Amino acid sequence: MTTPDPLAPATHCVHAGRPHAPGEPVNPPVVLTSTFAHGGEHTYARESSPAFAPFEEAVGALEEGRALVLSSGMAAASAVLATVPAGGVVVAPRSAYMGVLGLLREASADGRIALREVDLTDVAAVEEALVGADLVWLESPGNPLMEVADLPRLLAAARAAGATSVVDNTFPTPILARPLTMGADVVLHSATKYLAGHSDVVLGILVTGDDERGRGLYDAFHHHRHLHGAVPGPMEVWLALRGLRTLALRVERASTTAAVLASRLGEHPAIERVRYPGSGAMLAVDVRGGAEFAERVCTATRLWVHSTSLGGVESQIERRRRYPSEPDIVPEGLLRLSVGIEDVEDLWRDLSAALDGVATA
């Protein structure tokens, strides 16, 4: 069968990693084995397994690179950090996802790396910090401040400085951004979020380019996954591929809804500021009443699920400063909203009723 090339992302979502040969099942099987009879391609599932290939193929097709699945987004982040030599310099956003920031700050406190925290929206400051850097960590929009970085410019600066660049593409997904095509060396996903899309697995994935640096990084990540045991379970990988089939539809629907909600929230008297980058399904709002008001809104909604995480079919709401490890540049009254695929009017009725109810209580 010949296929038109290149395929659009929505088509990759449905077909990449799917068996097409006569007599094959339409979906790849769940491969539940830890070991393999000697003499073939695979030996032991911590090293490699056919359970991983279809999902890796699909994400690789979407991100236009070669993908390696790991047991969580943080396992993927750890594999990237492990490539930095002892004493190496890492440039990272001051408001990166708090888990990643915690990992980097710990490595810095232990003396393993030198960490330079920057405001990614200040290109000159990032360029200055890149001098002598080994790795630059980029996240755009940032979690949860929704700050947008000029990725092509920062990636060009990273390349000129000789630093390896990694882009956490969890928020935009490959439907809205493909950082390898902008010059990134590595793309990272918490596949727990949009890629899997149903809040039922914890999973990470790294994608590298096809140049010499990309191939070297892939080998280093594979070696790390093998030796550190950061392998996912076959069932999780299968569920993630199942979820990925609808990624384009989910992102399109949730993004349209998020734009409507962002605009209406901007008119609501209880909202001081809406942080919405203009696309995508994530947004944040600063409420006028601070931490207590924000917490009460979270428990007043009926549809919006008060829980951490994001990128599921269900809408989620959370005050981020409830975590002591959330950087203190995040306002106390900031609510992070992950918009799901429910009906927009139902979501608005639920959210605005919660805001109104708390405001008049």
Q: Which residues are catalytic?
A: 46, 97, 168, 193
CB burial readout 122-137, b (16+ within 10 A) else e? eeeebbebbeebbbbb
Q: Which residue, 81 or 354, is less far from ligand PLP as judged by CB?
A: 81
| Residue number, nearest CB to ligand PLP | 73
The distance of closest approach from Cβ of residue 68 to ligand PLP in the complex, given in angstroms and rounded to an integer, is 15
Quick one: which segment of 67-75, 86-94, 104-112, 152-160 binds ligand PLP (CB under 6 A)? 67-75
By CB under 6 A, the count of residues binding ligand PLP is 13
Nearer to ligand PLP, 300 or 340 (CB): 340
What number of CA atoms fall less than 13 Å from residue 192's CA on the CB side? 15
62: left (phi over 0), alpha (psi -120 to 50) or beta: alpha
CA-closest candidate to residue 63, choices 5, 13, 29: 13
Indicate which single residue of 202, 281, 347, 351 sits in contact with ligand PLP (rule: CB under 6 A): 202
Nearer to ligand PLP, 155 or 358 (CB): 155
Among 54, 73, 93, 327, binds ligand PLP (CB under 6 A): 73
* 206/75 Cα distance (integer angstroms): 10
> Scanning residues 214 to 243, which ones bind ligand PLP (CB under 6 A)?
none
Q: Which one of 192, 301, 315, 316 is in contact with ligand PLP (CB under 6 A)?
A: 192
Which CB atom, from 73 or from 88, has the smaller least distance to ligand PLP? 73
Contact call for residue 55 and ligand PLP (CB under 6 A): no
Question: How far, in Å, CA of 359 to CA of 361, rounded?
Answer: 6
Cα(245)–Cα(243) distance, rounded to whole angstroms? Answer: 5
**Residue 269: CB atoms within 10 Å:** 9
3-state secondary structure of 155: helix
Q: What is the CA radius of gyration of the chain?
A: 21
CA distance 182 to 179: 5
Report the site for ligand PLP in 114-173 (rule: CB under 6 A). 143, 168, 170
Of 298, 289, 247, 240, give the one whose Cα is nearest residue 268: 289
* C-beta closer to ligand PLP: residue 180 or 344: 180
Segment lying near ligand PLP (by CB under 6 A), choices 42-50, 94-102, 125-133, 273-281: 94-102
Q: In terms of CB distance, is 73 or 183 closer to ligand PLP?
A: 73
Q: Which of 51, 55, 72, 326 binds ligand PLP (CB under 6 A)?
A: 72
- What is the Cα–Cα distance from 99 to 93, expressed in whole angstroms? 12
Asked if residue 99 binds ligand PLP (CB under 6 A), the reply is yes
Judged by the rule CB under 6 A, the positions of this chain that interact with ligand PLP are 72-74, 97, 99-100, 143, 168, 170, 190, 192, 202, 204
